[in-house]
Amino acid sequence: MDERFQPTMDYAEQLDAQDELAAFRKEFYLDEETIYLDGNSLGLLSRRAEASLTEVLSAWRDYGIDGWTEGKYPWFTLSEQLGEKLAPLVGAEADEVVATGSTTVNLHQLLATFYRPEGKRTKILADSLNFPSDIYAMQSQLALHGLDPAQHLIRVGSEDGCTLDEEAIIDAMTEEVAVTILPSVLYRSGQILDMERLTRIARERDIPIGFDLCHSIGAIPHELTTWGVDFAFWCNYKYLNSGPGGVGGLYVHRRHHGRAPGLAGWFSSDKAVQFDMDHRLTPAADTGAFQIGTPHVLSLAPLIGSLEIFAEAGIHRIRTKSLRQTRYLMGLVEAELDGMGFSFGNPLEDHRRGGHVCLLHEEAVRISKSLKEHWVIPDFRAPDVIRLAPIALYTSYREVWEAIRRLKEIMESREYEKYPKERGVVA
């Protein structure tokens, strides 16, 4: 923690005055009464995202079907254009990224392409802390190959229930593994895995490796191409603020370009011949080949404006502020909530921590409900996790300070005890 740290409102306001990203806050629609700390689940709407959505709606109104090739953002090439803008956030070349599908659909595509069980190499390597949807997709792909997921899906365990031991992952990279799928950042604890090291060792052992970037893209820098990552996939509606159900993203390293997509479809085609209507697919020469169906244009549209903001702010400046805010939040917890039953589930070291703080408490579900009543929006994960995510583009230090002040009041009054100890349908 910064030696100048003070758990005071004045200190929070000093940090805000020094914040070089503070001007971006006005880009977003904010309820001044509410402290929104759930941007790692769903980012807030920006005015530019709203404007780009309106522009695309206007093109539909004004051009009809000609909107595919006319207007400010022609729809036919929009997925590739947005892939070019996403590429700097993942450390990739423009033709290695495309905005398409959803997290799980893209994972199915990548597994259908890269999972090729043969001989003793039949297993998929994953982890026990991964988001359930990824596990469901892996189990489905194994079943499609006639393999028993109970036998052929390896899930590296966790000793503490929050973090993964990378040595255990490496030990599990045996000659039986056909492909490895891991999160870049663990969704509960915020632990960052050493993607560069894991990729290097996977490649030394001839194991294709891919990463789920849902909880890292827009929060931390990546160097996927330099590291040699085979593929990656993600959603854009968390830190990238593309809106609920916004179109996802997909990365495939250039060395795999020219490989036939495992799941072919209309938009897998080389665009120059797509409307030849030939029943023999000519795949695109780049990552565009791994698209499947027609892009969801209205769900792509908000990402146009959102990525303009990221280009101006810069991912390295965003990461610097994010780390400072999460350190500050942890310092406030230690100073103000000592003895109240909280502990950290996230790594304390900057290089191992993503964009959110994971607070552990046995009353997490009831505390989260009480926070909402006090206009602080956290994220609860069963059974005992409160995730708090200060978002560099729109969360102020004063808000972080105020959120912990309100949390302290809740704990001192034990107000949370009035709530039932059960989560809502959507946590």
Domains of the chain from N-terminus onward: 9-30+314-412 (3.90.1150.10), 50-312 (3.40.640.10)
* In contact, 195 and 229? CB cutoff 8 Å: yes
Task: Please check whether residue 180 is in contact with residue 205, taking contact to mean a CB–CB distance below 8 angstroms.
Answer: no
The pair of three-digit structure tokens given for residue 235, joined into one six-digit string: 């959603």
Taking only the tens place, the pLDDT of each residue in 322-367 is 999 999 999 999 999 999 999 999 999 999 999 999 999 999 999 9
Q: State the binding site for pyridoxal 5'-phosphate.
A: 103-104, 131-134, 212, 215, 237, 266, 294
CA 180 to chain centre: 18
Proportion of the chain above pLDDT 90, given as a percent:
97
Strands 231-234 and 249-252 turn out to be: antiparallel
d(C-alpha 128, C-alpha 18), whole Å: 41
Give the mean pLDDT of 178-204. 98
Q: Which residues are annotated as a binding site?
A: 103-104, 131-134, 212, 215, 237, 266, 294
376-377 and 231-234 beta bridge pairing: unpaired
Which single residue is written with the structure tokens 């030696």?
3
Structure tokens at 320: 């610097």
Kindly report, residue by residue over 80-132, the tens digit of the pLDDT. 999 999 999 999 999 999 999 999 999 999 999 999 999 999 999 999 999 99
Task: Please check the confidence at residue 167 and state whether its pLDDT lies above 80.
Answer: yes
For 413, the token pair is 């009054």
- d(CA 425, CA 187) in angstroms, rounded, equals 19
Q: Which of 9, 101, 102 shows the shortest CA–CA distance to 328?
A: 9
pLDDT band at 423 (very low <50, low <70, confident <90, very high): confident
Query: Which secondary structure element, helix H or strand E, spans residue 387, and what is its range?
Result: strand 385-388
CB 268 within 8 A of CB 261: yes
Amino acid identity for residue 230 in this structure = D
Q: Where are the alpha helices (DSSP H) in 229-345?
A: 297-313, 315-336
The amino acid at 291: Q
